[in-house]
Every structure is written in C-alpha cells, then in structure tokens.
Amino acid sequence: MKKSNLIWGSLLIILGVVFGLNALNITNINIFFKGWWTLFIIIPSLIGLLDDKDKKGSLIGLTIGIIFLLAARDIIDFTIIGHLIVPAILVIVGLFLIFKREDKDFVINKEYDKDKEIEVTFSDQTITVDEEFANRKASAVFGKLTLDLTNAKIKKDTNIKLEAVFGSIILILPEGFDVKLKSTPIFGGVSNNYKNGSKTIYIEADAVFGGVTIK
C-alpha cells in the first residue's frame, strides 16, 4: 500500500468520525482552527516527502505552508510575507536552476538542436511537426504550447527537453514508442498519459508554476 493512500485514508476516517460525533452532540470539536486552510498545502507536501523521489518541490511547499500557518496564527506578520513573496519566488527558481542535478544515465544525447528550439512566450501556439525529429528542446514561459509529433519522423531513440515556467506544454507523441520520463515539478505538475511502445523517447520535463502533459 502506498504511504499516500494510507495517510489520506486515515485522515478521511478521522474527519468522518469527528463529524459523526459532532452531529450526535457527543463532542464539539472545531477542526476549522485559525489557519486550517494551510493544511491543503502542508499535508500534500508531507505526503510528497514520503512518496516522491524528487523531494525539492515538496520541501518548498512544506516551508511555504508552515510560513502561512504561522502568519494565520499571528506568529509572524502577513504584510512581511506579501512584500517578500516575489523575491522568494525568484530566489527559489534561481536556486533550482543552479543546483539542478543532471542524470547522466537518463539521456542518450545531450546535444539539442538549437536551430530548431521551440519557444513560446506570452502566447498560445500549436506546432505540428511532420518532418524528421530528433533531440529537441521546447519551452513555454507565460504561455501555452501544444507540440504535436503524431506524424513526426522519429527514426531512433531521441531526447526531448520540456520547460514550462508559468505556462503549460502538451506533448502529443506518435504510437510505437516507449517513454522514459524524468520530471522536476516546482509548484507545478507533470503527467504522463502515454501508452508505451517499442522505441524509446527520453523526456526531461521541468514545471515551475506550470504544467506538462504527455499523451
């Protein structure tokens, strides 16, 4: 059993018991304490620390959740948080870029085709590739990119690097490929809905306040 399922299941049971006892006037437990909403940040972050291999995003989320809880409890001033939130985001993203680890065993080729790099900024674009495709990099910054490779000519194992920063990327792959995914979500998410095949596409996806979907 996954640890996350055990934790969420236990929490739901506890809540059900508390609500039931309150309804029968046996107890009068108020679970909506001051700052209760921060649990929606703290609990998923704690679960991420237990289940996720890459724990950086969960640690950041847990830190933010605790800071908000302390502010809601009047232990620290909310005004200070408001002034520091943008600088904190910039520092977090900067540290992520500096100390990001490279997995040498994951990629087969670190040389991306710079002449064919795809960049979307402050726009919504759909790009369909029907030519030969190999070792490409695509990014969406404050925008949305749909990259359709359904008819692309992928002759051998290849790498794809995806970066979504305050934006989203939808990658549509052709059939008949196996997908190996390495992702680093920071206040974002990466989902893989693709069915595996025989050849291999190595996808490295980073989501910073954004999302990446593979299908």
Question: What is the distance between the alpha carbons of residues 125 and 102, in angstroms, rounded to a whole number?
Answer: 29
* pLDDT tens digits, 1-39: 556 677 777 778 888 888 888 888 888 887 778 888 888
Query: pLDDT for 86-131, tens place per residue?
Result: 777 777 767 666 655 555 555 555 666 667 788 888 888 888 988 8
Task: Convert the pLDDT of each residue in 71-83 to its tens digit.
Answer: 888 888 877 777 7
Q: Give the containing element (helix H, strand E) for 57.
A: helix 56-72
Report pLDDT for 167. 81
CA–CA distances in Å: residue 157 to residues 106, 118, 152: 12, 20, 13
User: Which residue has better confidence, 52 or 5?
Assistant: 5
pLDDT at residue 63, as a whole number? 80
Considering only the C-alpha atoms of the chain, give the largest distance between any 2 of them, rounded to a whole number of Å: 70
Radius of gyration, alpha carbons of the chain:
21
Structure tokens, 15: 């809540």
Percent with pLDDT over 90 in the chain: 0
Average pLDDT over residues 143-162: 85
DSSP 8-state assignment for residue 116: G
Q: What are phi and psi of 104, to 5 degrees?
A: -65, -25
Using DSSP, state whether 29 is helix, strand or coil.
Answer: coil
Residue 57 pLDDT grade (very low, low, confident, very high; cuts 50, 70, 90): low
Q: How far apart are CA 214 and CA 172, in angstroms?
A: 6
* Residue 7 structure tokens: 């934790």
pLDDT for 53 equals 56
Here the tokens at position 91 are 């520092």
Distances (CA, A) of 135 to 37, 97, 110, 164: 43, 21, 8, 18
